[in-house]
Amino acid sequence: MSVHTLTEQLADVLQQHGWMLATAESCTGGLIAANCTDLSGSSNWFERGFVTYSNEAKHEMLGVDSALIAEHGAVSQEVVAQMVLGALRHSRAQVALATSGIAGPTGGSADKPVGTVWFAWATPSDSGPTIDAESAWVKTECLHFAGDRAAIRKAAVQHAIHMLVELLSNRSR
């Protein structure tokens, strides 16, 4: 399914609930926000996007603990989970997603090869809609994508949006 179609589905499910989305992007560099705002009327459901490519930006804009970055690295479950919660805390959104990864062609290691991407999604808790990041429901996932830099980033954008549609659709039932 195309990213455009997935984004339309995301728009529909967010609008059904009256929820807004915030994004916190590192390796995708704002591509998720760009796909969202490509749709006319996105201001009805897209609240804001944070492009936090540097470690300093993750700390300053999202409140990610610098010690956590130093201990686990920017491309880690711990950091992406703090990124997604930071996006909620620093916005008026009820739903957020975050990405941090290694798009290459350089920057990979044995532990974190090129193509490694961590994702996090935060949605209102089962107790009802909330903008309180402390009571949000959070899911994290790590995937490895093949290809060049453009292919890895494209795959990460598609997966991030697809999974958010799935998570919101499943939580709506």
Q: What share of the chain is helix, strand, coil (3-state, %, to 5)?
A: 45, 20, 35
Angle at CA of residue 69, ends 72 and 31, nearest 5°: 105
Q: What is the pLDDT of residues 102-152, one digit of tens each?
A: 999 999 999 999 999 999 999 987 655 445 566 789 999 999 999 999 999
Q: Return all residues near 118 (Cβ < 8 A) that are at least 6 apart.
A: 75, 76, 77, 79, 80, 99, 100, 101, 140, 141, 142
> Quick one: pLDDT at residue 132?
56
Task: Give residue for tokens 């402390």.
Answer: 134
Q: Tens of pLDDT along the chain (173 residues)?
A: 999 999 999 999 999 999 999 999 999 999 999 999 999 999 999 999 999 999 999 999 999 999 999 999 999 999 999 999 999 999 999 999 999 999 999 999 999 999 999 999 999 876 554 455 667 899 999 999 999 999 999 999 999 999 999 999 987 55
For residue 82, which phi and psi values (nearest 5 degrees)? -70, -35
Alpha-carbon distance of 68 to 78, in angstroms, equals 7
Prediction pTM value: 0.94
Length of the chain in terms of residues written: 173
What is the CB-side half-sphere exposure of residue 159 using CA atoms within 13 A?
21
DSSP state of 115: T
